[in-house]
Homo-oligomer: A and B are copies of this chain.
Amino acid sequence: MTANTFGDLFAVTTFGESHGAALGVVIDGCPAGIPLSEADFLPELARRRPGQSAVTTARVEADRPELVAGVFEGRTTGMPIAVLIRNEGQRSSDYDHLRDVVRRGHADETWVRKFGVRDHRGGGRSSGRETVARVIAGVVARRVLPAEVRIVGHALRIGPHVAARFEPDSIESNTVRCADPDVAIAMERYVLELKERGDSTGGVAEVRVLNTPPNLGEPVFDKLKARLAAAWLSVGAVTGFAYGAGFDVAGMLGSDYVADRAHFGGMLGGVSTGEELRLCASIKPTTSIGDVARKGRHDPCIVPRVIPVLEAMTAIVLADCWLRDRARQRDAASSANARR
């Protein structure tokens, strides 16, 4: 019911505006005894950070996470974990010229109508910067899950370029996070070209989860696929979600569909099978185009930056479902039964 909290047993609350004093996250429900330190957040924050290359925005965000609660002597305590990130080096005055501008095709338009006030400084909560908090929560969520679970995101498509191979080790070695090294080169070139033209492009991000535990998801409304869809669509840039054969099922015969278990995407009846989860999202082109874009402060393609966010949201959903499945595991019933 609280619009800025996601999850039930593993519940993530985010707060903070892109140009306010700080952003932060409270993670409630993390089991006690898990090792955790501020340094653990740095790799994922670095992956999300813009300005890593010419492809992404040139802004440098110094994201220094401060772990203010929930960890004692290096381990989680079972109490809410709170992490704070100060917004540094971001001058609100840079945005004064936007004070009276409601950006077309942007959250500004609806948020002003709904709330009657507007933080014109870079979008406030509607800014992509809010996702810093999600990435932090994702790091904790992965710790809750069994260690063998691997959540791997990559750029399946950017504009006309579609990856044909999946080589996970190559993902972080190119600026577009493409798992196909050859296509990555074409994608990078395309994005740079758009930057020069002051335009942007959409794409498709895919996340695969290896060693997914079975039994995740609670029918009928909290099916795993429903939870994942909600988590992913809560990310600003996402316009669609699909799993397994996804929208390709539209043209498929039933006989084709059942012929390959990969079509099921690792879920049946909304519950994980234990097989690889395969999820994808369509990512819209940024609407910051034209002169604004050419000035170099925006990404022509945000697929690479959305990937760590989608991985984080996936981890959060899986951790929540995993704790939830534990609560009602069959031995609960059988232990009670045994005594009758």
Contacts and interface: CB of A to CB of B under 8 A. Distances in A.
A289 B259 CA distance: 12
A33 B338 CA distance: 11
Interface stretch (A55-63, A178-186, A325-333): A325-333
Contact of A247 (B200, B204, B267): B204
A74 to B, nearest CB: 10
Interface string A28-45: 110111110000000000
Interface in A100-123: 104-111, 113-117, 119
Interface in A213-271: 214-215, 218-223, 225-234, 236, 238-258, 261, 264-265, 267-271
B11 A242 contact: no
Contact of A220 (B14, B202, B204, B265): B14
A280 to B, nearest CB: 9
Given A4-B26, A144-B336, 4 more contacts: A32-B116, A32-B328, A32-B330, A33-B115
A13 interface: yes
B234 A125 contact: no
Contact of A107 (B11, B105, B221, B268): B268
Contact of A234 (B16, B34, B220): B220
A199 B283 contact: no
Contacts of A254: 199-201, 285-289, 293, 300
Interface stretch (A46-54, A75-83, A163-171): A75-83
Given A82-B15, A148-B339, A4 B220 contact: yes
Contacts of A107: 219, 268-271
A149 to B, nearest CB: 10
Contact of A284 (B1, B109, B157, B257): B257
A203 interface: yes
A23 interface: yes
Given A271-B110, A287-B254, A333 B219 contact: no
A272 interface: yes
A17 interface: yes
B130 A287 contact: no
A24 interface: yes
Interface in A190-208: 194, 199-204
Question: 8 tightest CB-CB pairs across the interface, nearest first?
Answer: A107-B269, A240-B242, A147-B339, A200-B254, A3-B218, A230-B230, A254-B285, A78-B115
A247 B253 contact: no
